[in-house]
Structure 1
């Protein structure tokens, strides 16, 4: 009788939410680690962790506690040592992380733009007067109202498939989703139009997969260093510094995009009124070594110029 060999212990455990997009992201991190270190696929185990944000589908995140609702339970597992790394959508991460945790890096960033999905197809201008568009993002709502104040914008929560289904079934005339998410799920063809960043600025961190780790876990950090993308890290650090200065949460419509070219980083940020009627904009550029300072200064500049009512959220 042949004796079976014991199953090898995993080298790393990754924590993630259980949505199809979150699982795509976790598998992308796993595959990158496996390839970089020439491991067998079973060397990296994916642990699905249900978060508070997953359980809340009937109201806006701002009413339930804001950013962090999609990361809290995963971060607790990371702090407890139940997992070695946490994988998140960068735009879901709070600006202030729990003590003992930090962002270890990002996978190379995907397309940052927003996609418009319309039941009848076409572009934003093709929507009839008073059409109903669903979104859970105050940033998307504010920019949408800025471009088309006639539209009726209503809350639409749920994963990508849920939101698309509600458009398909006629509950909404359209919705907005990150093009990166659609592409990762093999659904890029569902985009009726892709909105330029000039007209429609993305969320801070949009298109980036963030990998969170424990501070001081040198062994895991060394493994992670083989897969993280430097340019994405610089860009998102700039954007998050901007957001931190504005104390950005799900209660305030804020958009920001940094782009790295060579040894320079360029940034553009917006703070909007919820109805899109007012906007404070900032642009800046400088060396990549000063990226975080540039983002923070941009945030302070907007904060100094913004009417108090725009920061009251």
Structure 2
């Protein structure tokens, strides 16, 4: 049982970037509207410190969450706010996802240094991104381009773009919208050619499983539609053992009482992209996603994943 007292502020753990703080403020505002008091606690993660290597080389997506999760397990914070796409597929046993805010736009935005769209870039131009998914999809669309690692928060990447480190980069439109800078996008990429990362555009609130106060508070701010979509996409990831070493994309949509998912797995060079769809009852969202991932894994075969591990 949690030792948190209802009279004390809910301590919200977050990374310190402008986007992370904006998302934490959104959760704080929702909790305050539900009658809670809040306090934001900034925690620096390993992923924020190491910016010269791809995540796949230094430990994967957990580098953005492990220190925050440790703080929660130690009782220094009561909940954590994450971009849902940054969460590892399997959470620590003591923790769970308590709530999701309403999902933002799921699409990727392309930002060309000179205002170009992706199709406008000259052959051999450099596109900067640390995402293997984005690299694979860029290479599928434009095999004549070069992809280099570009890491850092949104402002860091935009600054590096202005400095000429690359001719273009890709960012989640959701983040640009939350920062109020969507106008920097020179092209919004459609999901039929640039399927987003699983859970892109969703904000997740992670809590301890035994914290009754946070369980109750999260029930008041949870967006049920977003939760179902994210659980389907995370189910898809789980079946594929999704990590930062595997170019995987997935997007679930709700159609009446059903949930539909489209997912893909790609080779890093973008030459092979295998897609799949799944459909089932909304109440079985996680299972629908998992089944689609299982079928895709069976189709492509285990050898497909060997170069990615």
Structure 1, unaligned stretches of length 5 or more? Answer: 1-7
The answer as to whether partners of 1:10 and 1:45 remain within 8 angstroms in 2 is no
The answer as to whether partners of 1:271 and 1:310 remain within 8 angstroms in 2 is no
* 1:1-313 alignment, distance < 5 Å: 10-37=8-35, 39=36, 43-312=37-306, 313=309
Q: Any idea what SS the aligned residue of 1:225 has?
A: helix
The answer as to whether partners of 1:133 and 1:172 remain within 8 angstroms in 2 is yes
Q: CA deviation at 1:307?
A: 4.2
The 2-side partners of 1:105 and 1:300 are apart by: 26
The answer as to whether partners of 2:235 and 2:293 remain within 8 angstroms in 1 is yes
The answer as to whether partners of 1:67 and 1:250 remain within 8 angstroms in 2 is yes
The answer as to whether partners of 1:118 and 1:174 remain within 8 angstroms in 2 is yes
Identify the residue that residue 5 of structure 1 maps to in structure 2.
Answer: none
Structure 2, unaligned stretches of length 5 or more? Answer: 1-5
The 2-side partners of 1:99 and 1:71 are apart by: 14
Structure number with greater Rg is 1
Q: Which runs of 4+ in 1 moved over 2 A?
A: 8-11, 307-310
The 2-side partners of 1:221 and 1:261 are apart by: 28
RMSD: 1.2
Q: CA deviation at 1:207?
A: 0.3
Q: CA deviation at 1:284?
A: 1.3
The 2-side partners of 1:102 and 1:215 are apart by: 6
The answer as to whether partners of 1:118 and 1:173 remain within 8 angstroms in 2 is yes
TM superposition score normalised by structure 1: 0.94
The 2-side partners of 1:264 and 1:212 are apart by: 26
The answer as to whether partners of 1:272 and 1:310 remain within 8 angstroms in 2 is no
Q: Any idea what SS the aligned residue of 2:242 has?
A: coil
Greater mean alpha carbon deviation, residues 187-196 or residues 290-299: 290-299
Corresponding pairs, count: 302
